[in-house]
Amino acid sequence: MKLSVFTAASIFLFSLSSHATMTLNSISGDSNRDLSDPAKPIIYAGFNPATPCTGDGAFTCDSCTGTSAGGKIFSCNKTSAYPNLRLVIQMTSTNTTGTVYAKLGDTDVSSTLPWTFDSGVLTFQATWSEICQAAGAGNCTSNFNKDLVVGINTSSGGSATTDSATFRLNVRVTEADASDTFYTDCNSAEVAENQGFCHFNVFPGDEKLYVENLVYSAGYPASPAPGVEYRSVVFFYEPFVTDDNTTISSISNASAMFELPVNRSADPPIVDDRVDGLLNGQRYCMVMANMDMTGNISFFTPIPGTPGSPVTASELCGTPAAVVGLLDDKSCFIATAAFGSQMAPEVESFREFRNKYLLPNAWGKAFVKFYYKHSPYYANLIAESEVAKAAVRVGLWPLLLFARASVALGFWTAFALLSFGVLAIYGLYRHLLVARRFRGEL
């Protein structure tokens, strides 16, 4: 998705001198940005020299639509930067006069493009080629992360002041020799120098495919470029043709793509593992890749049948099908039978607990599968008896309270409260039992 020329930013005040403040108005010509730290916003740029694309100098381009001598799959970026793309930063200063300057580290940045400061509005612009040269990265052929300082020098009454803002430039350039196109599958053992997520297999759901047994490499989420982390896993997929191997061979960077964000602060990282919007009864095959903060997509699943690839076609293909059960977003077998409707608030609470605490974990998925396999028989028996429904409802209430507390307060807080309650009840029971025996002795 292309970034607009002037993306409106929230008001960011930079406390940069005791005399003035600088307010960021807009940034354009970058692959991505992080404005969460007002003191030093991060500007990301991703380059793809093996499959370069170009644009009009104002917008990023999509290098995933190109071609590669190495095959249909290659490292690419849907918001790729290129050497003559213009990085434009506009800010407002409380000063109204001054001279614009820019430094990258200790190096002055020079540009053939005009820098202006008019009525307190500063506009800095430079091509990425000019920025990369100032960073010592040639014509944007190597990674770098450096501070870019943009500001104005002012003078008044014989004294000079500086009003400036600092930006962190994090740049990743994918390998020109395409050595970062595929990861080495790491299902059985950790592979040295691997990158990102490096194994998965498919499990069918209702109008979706689950990507399970996700394995990530040591050092995740760090990418090969300093300051650039991986942010998501993406899946390129195609509908079935002839056989699974043929279908996988038809997958390319132009295939349909689905992005799954990764919670990188969690340990282990958490992925919402559902590729949805698919058709039941239609078989699909997919490959995985890793997207970093610059938008670069690299380290794809090694294609089955290629030399050294342990991946089998059956791991990458699946057929969505209508299901009624714990794996489905619509029903929970036993809870639905007991409470009478899959839309009952109690059933929804169990469903929320499942999605938040069971499906993201391997042990939770194993339980879900076991439940899905064995519970329909018992659910049918419960549905036929009002007495059984009432009894199961009574039995489910403690679990329901725990599920609701977990969703609202967190799993371990709910577990602690449950443990305290159990111990309190047991202590009360012991107290009453001892008191009764004491009265009997009297």
The per-residue pLDDT for 8 is 35
Output the six-digit token pair for 164: 């400036």
The residue type of 95 is N
Contact (CB, 8 A) for 245 and 304:
yes
Per-position b or e across 143-165, b if 16+ CB within 10 A of its CB = bbbbebbbbbebeeeeeeebbbb
Question: Mean pLDDT of residues grouped by 10 in the chain (442 residues)?
Answer: 37 38 93 95 96 94 77 92 98 89 94 94 97 96 97 68 90 94 78 80 87 87 94 96 94 94 86 89 96 97 83 91 50 52 62 72 73 68 74 76 80 81 76 60 48
Give the count of alpha carbons within 13 A of 235, CB side only.
28
Q: Of 223, 107, 126, 220, whose CA–CA distance to 172 is shortest?
A: 223
Q: Report the Cα 57 to chain-centroid distance in Å.
A: 28
> What whole-number distance in Å separates Cα of residue 431 and Cα of residue 419?
18
> What whole-number distance in Å separates Cα of residue 262 and Cα of residue 266?
9
The per-residue pLDDT for 221 is 93
Q: Is the dihedral of CA 217, 221, 227, 231 positive or negative?
A: positive
The per-residue pLDDT for 438 is 52
Output the six-digit token pair for 27: 């940034």
Contact (CB, 8 A) for 129 and 139:
yes
The per-residue pLDDT for 329 is 45
Respond yes or no on whether the N-terminal peptide bond of residue 320 is cis (omega within 30° of 0): no
pTM of the shown model: 0.72
